Chain A
Amino acid sequence: MATYKMPIALADIQIPENYYSSFTRVFTPIVMDQLIESGYSGYLSEIIEFSGIGKYLRNGVTLREFLDWVYAQIIGSYRSEYAYKNAIAEKILLGRHSLNTSCMLKEFRVENSRADVVILNGTSNAYEIKSEYDSFGRLDKQISSYIKVFDFTNIITSGSQAKKLTFLPESIGILELTENYTIKNIRPAISMKDKVDQGTIFDSLRKNEYLSIVKKHFGEIPDVPNTQIFDECKTFFLKLSPIMAHDEMVKVLKKRGDKQLLKDLVSEIPRCLYAYIIDRKFNRSKAEKLNVLLSKTLEEILGVSK
């Protein structure tokens, strides 16, 4: 694996096959948040013990080394949705764009779907992840929602899955997460921002966001009781052209999240955690606690003794 070196202490150790899905869960907010907040994780302790790898973790393996090792194993043998998200953060957000001008959102709700990743630079790019373990069952519905909101809509998947995507409309981009952990463009997405639906965009915005857009374009926020604000603002918003509605959305969405925090962190935090820390609930106090934990050994954190 080119980008992910295994810590030497763990170089020959494999996660048992039936434990991959348990180990990939280490990167979910529910496990990481608890580890950071309490300094301990019962979940981590259990999977290390039950999978039988506890005995290899005696000799001062740090949390940082351990996470890198888990991630290297995941991208080698079990590419979960997290691996795709993290690859997008590493290779598209930080690789092709820059944190000065771009931002990444996860699980962005559009109608009854959630776009796995959205990247906002000068425009909007949605990425729907279809790992080898996902089916294409909901894809039609997801795509028909995303093109109502985003300029470029993409599917990112594995090489073998990519071949099956011939049924997609031409406007949808296809990307492949290759064997070598690079992202390859199979075909580019076509710009759709002149065809977005203003109402669907409006429904995806938060209150402070649509208020600021309405104020900017129509002078004042309508003076009505707060039970009617949404409907009143939507009436105004629908008067914007599709392109204008889209571009205003990009501007307000770029304000979500703490960009400075992310810039400060990318050099300190292991790359395998990028997709985890890109989250509106991640903040400076968590970052400080995480940094302390990363250099602790697993023995110190979990009391691994076996």
Chain B
Amino acid sequence: MYYPYLRGKQYELILLRDNPTMFSDNPIYPIIEPVKTNFSGFTRAIGNLVDKKAKFIVVANPQCGDLVGEEDSILEVIEDTVPSSYNGLSIAYIVNHDSDIESIVESINNCERNNISIIHYDFIRGRDLAEVLSEIGKVKRHIFIEKYSSKLYQKHFKRDGVERILIRDGFKVRKNEQYPQREHYSDLHITYEDEGMDGFGDFLIVGDEYREGGGPAYAVAIHLTYLNEEKDMFVAHFVSEQKGSPKNPARKFAEALEKLVGAVEASDSLFLRSNAYEEYRRLNQIGHFPGLGYAKKLSMQHHIELMAYYLNSLST
């Protein structure tokens, strides 16, 4: 099972809203951390996931964005949007350096849903937490952010009937003009079972570090993941030629897109011709710039389609 971790910004939510069957028809279980006070995009996204009976996880206590400390309003929105009989939803609680065990337990006990996930950031008292949580039957899975938790920490939570998921941030954020043409992304999709895990995840082509908007880009970069012959995952970065000023993003997008389409269409191409890629190709054909947010959405979609393709290839 693949667990893409999405911060609920505008285009992440549009991705979920417009592609619910991508999640329901494949072994993919998105984790959504709401970050925006305006819930309309969020409710439409999870509404569509419910309609298609997709499984998904919602973080009730986000640690970044506008909704830090807004646990009650998030849970309220969920109660209004997801029927209590719906069993595809898991509520997640993040534990980090600020957390204390008592209030986490209290939140879990008060939560009306009985499918709870714990997302482990930099919490320290792993053994104590594991002991307390082992008594609570509705905790169904532990999700570890690899950078923050050691093997020993993860081991405390090993227990029959409780899943363990490892999330690795395979994406290295740089300034757009500084991306190499290609670099390694992650092999966790192949090796997670060797790590003793029941599932794996990543932060797509965005990275774990939360950022709001950002200034004008001097260069436009489009990221596209692919598998090599061994099914190890890499990411290609297509960067515009112009990078000296923040002017004319549309033209820069066109330059990056031209490189992308050229690479995918090459005879020795390793890229999956995903639906997202077909949209890139169409944009290239008509010379249209849909905005940088939309381009990011397509690259995230491509990544998830690639994971779905990989996971399905294992079972056939």
The residues of B that contact A229 with a CB separation of less than 8 Å are 250
A residues 86-137 in Cβ contact with B at 8 Å: 109, 111-112
Contact status A227-B245, CB under 8 Å: no
What residues make up the interface of B, taking CB atoms closer than 8 Å to A?
Answer: 245-248, 250-251, 253-254, 286-289
Contact status B245-A111, CB under 8 Å: yes
Contact status A225-B245, CB under 8 Å: no
Give chain B nearest CB distance to A51 CB in angstroms: 29
Bound complex: CA of A270 vs CA of B19, how far in Å? 52
Task: Kindly list the 9 A-B residue pairs having the minimum CB-CB distance in the complex, ordered from nearest.
Answer: A225-B287, A227-B254, A230-B248, A227-B250, A227-B287, A227-B289, A226-B289, A203-B247, A226-B250
Q: Is A224 an interface residue (CB 8 A)?
A: yes
Contact status B251-A230, CB under 8 Å: yes
Bound complex: CA of A228 vs CA of B289, how far in Å? 9
Bound complex: CA of A224 vs CA of B66, how far in Å? 40
Contact status A225-B286, CB under 8 Å: yes
Contact status A203-B245, CB under 8 Å: yes
Q: Is A268 an interface residue (CB 8 A)?
A: no
Contact status A112-B250, CB under 8 Å: no
Give chain B nearest CB distance to A233 CB in angstroms: 10
Bound complex: CA of A126 vs CA of B230, how far in Å? 60
**Can you give 21 A-B contacts (C-beta < 8 A)?**
A109-B246, A111-B245, A112-B245, A224-B287, A225-B287, A226-B287, A226-B288, A226-B289, A227-B253, A227-B287, A227-B288, A227-B289, A228-B250, A228-B254, A228-B287, A229-B250, A230-B248, A230-B250, A230-B251, A231-B248, A231-B251
Q: Mark A213-241, 1 if CB is under 8 A from B, else 0.
A: 00000000000111111110000000000
The residues of B that contact A225 with a CB separation of less than 8 Å are 286-289
The residues of B that contact A112 with a CB separation of less than 8 Å are 245
The residues of A that contact B287 with a CB separation of less than 8 Å are 224-228
Give chain A nearest CB distance to B58 CB in angstroms: 26
The residues of A that contact B251 with a CB separation of less than 8 Å are 227-228, 230-231
Bound complex: CA of A112 vs CA of B250, how far in Å? 20
Minimum CB distance partner of B287 in chain A: A225
Minimum CB distance partner of B247 in chain A: A203
Give chain B nearest CB distance to A54 CB in angstroms: 27
Bound complex: CA of A203 vs CA of B251, how far in Å? 13
Minimum CB distance partner of B249 in chain A: A230
Bound complex: CA of A225 vs CA of B250, how far in Å? 10
Bound complex: CA of A112 vs CA of B246, how far in Å? 9
Give chain A nearest CB distance to B292 CB in angstroms: 13
Give chain B nearest CB distance to A241 CB in angstroms: 22
Most chain A CB atoms below 10 A, which of B245, B250, B254: B250
What 13 additional pairs, Cβ within 8 angstroms, besides A225-B288, A229-B250, A230-B248? Answer: A109-B246, A203-B245, A203-B247, A225-B286, A226-B250, A226-B288, A227-B251, A227-B253, A227-B254, A227-B288, A227-B289, A228-B251, A231-B251
Give chain A nearest CB distance to B36 CB in angstroms: 16
Bound complex: CA of A225 vs CA of B287, how far in Å? 5
Most chain B CB atoms below 10 A, which of A224, A226, A230: A226
Bound complex: CA of A67 vs CA of B139, how far in Å? 53
Minimum CB distance partner of B258 in chain A: A227
Minimum CB distance partner of A111 in chain B: B245
Give chain B nearest CB distance to A174 CB in angstroms: 29
A residues 183-217 in Cβ contact with B at 8 Å: 203
The residues of B that contact A227 with a CB separation of less than 8 Å are 250-251, 253-254, 287-289
The residues of A that contact B245 with a CB separation of less than 8 Å are 111-112, 203
Bound complex: CA of A183 vs CA of B246, how far in Å? 34
Bound complex: CA of A227 vs CA of B253, how far in Å? 8
Bound complex: CA of A109 vs CA of B218, how far in Å? 14
Most chain A CB atoms below 10 A, which of B246, B247, B288: B247
Bound complex: CA of A207 vs CA of B226, how far in Å? 36
Bound complex: CA of A231 vs CA of B251, how far in Å? 8
The residues of A that contact B289 with a CB separation of less than 8 Å are 225-227
Give chain A nearest CB distance to B285 CB in angstroms: 10
Minimum CB distance partner of A225 in chain B: B287
Give chain B nearest CB distance to A214 CB in angstroms: 15
The residues of B that contact A230 with a CB separation of less than 8 Å are 247-248, 250-251
Bound complex: CA of A229 vs CA of B287, how far in Å? 10
Bound complex: CA of A109 vs CA of B286, how far in Å? 31
Bound complex: CA of A231 vs CA of B287, how far in Å? 13
Minimum CB distance partner of A230 in chain B: B248
The residues of B that contact A109 with a CB separation of less than 8 Å are 246
The residues of A that contact B288 with a CB separation of less than 8 Å are 225-227
Give chain B nearest CB distance to A222 CB in angstroms: 12
Minimum CB distance partner of A207 in chain B: B250
The residues of B that contact A203 with a CB separation of less than 8 Å are 245, 247
Minimum CB distance partner of A204 in chain B: B247
The residues of B that contact A111 with a CB separation of less than 8 Å are 245
Minimum CB distance partner of B218 in chain A: A112
Q: Mark A128-149, 1 if CB is under 8 A from B, else 0.
A: 0000000000000000000000
Minimum CB distance partner of A109 in chain B: B246
Give chain A nearest CB distance to B40 CB in angstroms: 20
Bound complex: CA of A292 vs CA of B291, how far in Å? 39
Minimum CB distance partner of B248 in chain A: A230
Bound complex: CA of A265 vs CA of B40, how far in Å? 34
The residues of A that contact B254 with a CB separation of less than 8 Å are 227-228
Bound complex: CA of A109 vs CA of B246, how far in Å? 10
Minimum CB distance partner of B246 in chain A: A109
The residues of A that contact B286 with a CB separation of less than 8 Å are 225
Q: Mark A29-42, 1 if CB is under 8 A from B, else 0.
A: 00000000000000
Bound complex: CA of A229 vs CA of B247, how far in Å? 12
Give chain A nearest CB distance to B221 CB in angstroms: 16
Give chain B nearest CB distance to A259 CB in angstroms: 25
